[in-house]
């Protein structure tokens, strides 16, 4: 008897655990059911993706959606719309929103608000704070919780775990991998005079200097080793950190961002001003080169966009009153496909950094690879398409990207989440039906 499925993608070039091959993929009930010739099989919907490349759905494990419910600000609907437009099938949101996500009720509230509003699958971090440490081991296992996030240095928001005693207590509570923003708060305070009122944004990476990052990463690893706790070091930006972290892969995984792989100081600050301002900062070409070396040698485990949209009104404030952060979830895929085109990494390595890597680091259930039984999540791309990234293309309500006007080769043409096509040829389709990401370590 001929097999019948909900969806068949035919004649595409798929990046699978068995290699990159031209094949057909069959989907039913939101899962991949068959891969191969599929002779005689039919489906309610069949899509010919000849000439296109089918990637496992891209997962962006670091986004900041800011202030829910305010019309002029980002929220779950607008940012997940941006994710879908950019080929991203799932996002993990950080806790430094308003209000901060520091309780179980806050996580459950976000999950409830996401229902019927989120275009892609989603999970939320709980922010560690001095007054919630005793609950972290319990709360990190809530379904839909991505784990615990620690800010060692002050950034956007008011979450901060600055001293070793408090950080050690956080690391001792629970067992899931903890995501950490590594900047040393004491050194930031000590050097705040560098970013005095009226300074040019170019001093941002001088204030938040290499030592600020390296000191925090070193402190974190020392404490993590004592506690026996796995950690994930977010948005690593320096050559010195990469060299140090390469020696501690037994306990630490490493993230960097497309922004830090693409932009470089001082040029980006001269051209973009405060629109190049983020934490940790964009640094010089020496550090960018070191990040690419860390991509090549396997030190880097994952890419996250660190999507942190602020309105133009906010970004136009004079430095340092201007907030740090830039859009990124929608441009992650096209920027990195262009880097593939330029020969800086292979397509298979990109898949490991954006699909398999996130699944491996966070023990995600059913995502991260094109394999039978996994969620039918696909980022379908045209590797030859030449496009120009523009502010007008950005779905985020702030309506800007630091990459406005940049020409890229490689473009997301469809986003499929659990078998549902949510974006095709630049158009959002259907309705917002994202669901919480599942984790092996959740209850």
Give yes or no for a contact between 371 and 344, defined as CB atoms under 8 angstroms apart.
no
Backbone Cα Rg of the chain: 21
Helix (H) or strand (E) holding 437: none
SS3 of residue 78 by DSSP: helix
Look at residues 236, 237, 395 and name the one whose alpha carbon lies nearest to residue 309: 395
Question: Which residues, 6 or more positions from 193, have their beta carbon under 8 angstroms from its beta carbon?
Answer: none
Residue written as tokens 């997940």? Answer: 80
Residue written as tokens 């408090």? Answer: 166
Residue 352 a catalytic site member: no
Helix (H) or strand (E) holding 309: none
| Residue of 60, 121, 306, 352 marked active site | 306
Helix (H) or strand (E) holding 226: helix 210-227
410: buried, middle or exposed (CB in 10 Å: 19+, 13-18, 0-12)?
A: buried
Q: For residue 32, give both structure tokens.
A: 């991949």
Give yes or no for a contact between 422 and 415, defined as CB atoms under 8 angstroms apart.
yes
Look at residues 86, 67, 64 and name the one whose alpha carbon lies nearest to residue 75: 67
CA gap 248, 318 in Å, rounded: 40
Question: Which residues, 6 or more positions from 9, have their beta carbon under 8 angstroms from its beta carbon?
Answer: 24, 25, 27, 47, 49, 54, 378, 380
SS3 of residue 385 by DSSP: strand
Q: For residue 360, give both structure tokens.
A: 């491996």
- Which are the catalytic amino acids? 306
């Amino acid at each position: 008897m001929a097999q019948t499925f909900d969806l068949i993608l035919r004649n595409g070039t798929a990046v699978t655990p068995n290699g990159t091959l031209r094949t057909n993929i069959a989907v039913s009930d939101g899962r991949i059911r068959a891969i191969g010739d599929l002779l005689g099989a039919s489906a309610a919907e069949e899509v010919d993706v000849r000439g296109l490349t089918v990637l496992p759905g891209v997962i962006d494990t670091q986004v900041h959606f800011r202030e829910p419910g305010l019309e002029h600000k980002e929220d779950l609907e607008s940012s997940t719309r941006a994710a879908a437009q950019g080929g991203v099938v799932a996002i993990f949101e950080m806790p430094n929103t308003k209000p901060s996500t520091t309780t179980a009720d806050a996580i459950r509230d976000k999950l409830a608000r996401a229902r019927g509003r989120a275009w892609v699958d989603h999970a939320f971090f709980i922010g560690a704070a001095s007054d919630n440490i005793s609950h972290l081991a319990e709360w990190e296992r809530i379904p839909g919780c991505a784990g615990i996030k620690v800010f060692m240095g002050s950034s956007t928001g008011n979450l901060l775990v600055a001293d070793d005693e408090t950080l050690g207590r956080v690391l001792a509570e629970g067992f899931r991998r903890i995501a950490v923003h590594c900047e040393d708060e004491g050194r930031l305070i000590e050097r705040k005079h560098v970013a005095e009122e009226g300074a040019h944004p170019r001093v941002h990476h001088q204030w938040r200097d290499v030592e600020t990052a390296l000191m925090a990463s070193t402190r974190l690893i020392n404490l993590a080793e004592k506690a026996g706790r796995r950690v994930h070091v977010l948005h690593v930006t320096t050559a010195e950190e990469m060299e140090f972290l390469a020696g501690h892969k037994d306990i630490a995984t490493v993230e960097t961002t497309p922004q830090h792989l693409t932009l470089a100081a001082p040029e980006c600050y001269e051209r973009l001003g405060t629109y190049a301002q983020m934490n940790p900062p964009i640094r010089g070409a020496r550090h960018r080169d070191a990040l690419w070396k860390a991509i090549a040698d396997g030190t880097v485990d994952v890419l996250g966009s660190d999507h942190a949209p602020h309105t133009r009104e906010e970004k136009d404030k004079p430095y340092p009153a201007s907030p740090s952060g830039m859009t990124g979830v929608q441009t992650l895929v096209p920027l990195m496909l262009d880097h593939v085109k330029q020969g800086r990494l292979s397509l298979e390595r990109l898949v490991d950094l954006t699909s398999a890597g996130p699944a491996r680091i966070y023990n995600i259930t059913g995502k991260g690879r094109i394999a039978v039984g996994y969620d039918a999540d696909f980022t379908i791309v045209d590797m030859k398409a030449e496009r120009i990234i523009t502010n007008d293309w950005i779905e985020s309500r702030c309506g800007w990207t630091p990459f406005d006007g940049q020409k890229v080769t490689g473009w997301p043409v469809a986003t499929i989440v659990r078998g549902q096509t949510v974006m095709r040829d630049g158009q959002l389709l259907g309705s917002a039906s994202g669901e919480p990401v599942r984790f092996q370590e959740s209850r």
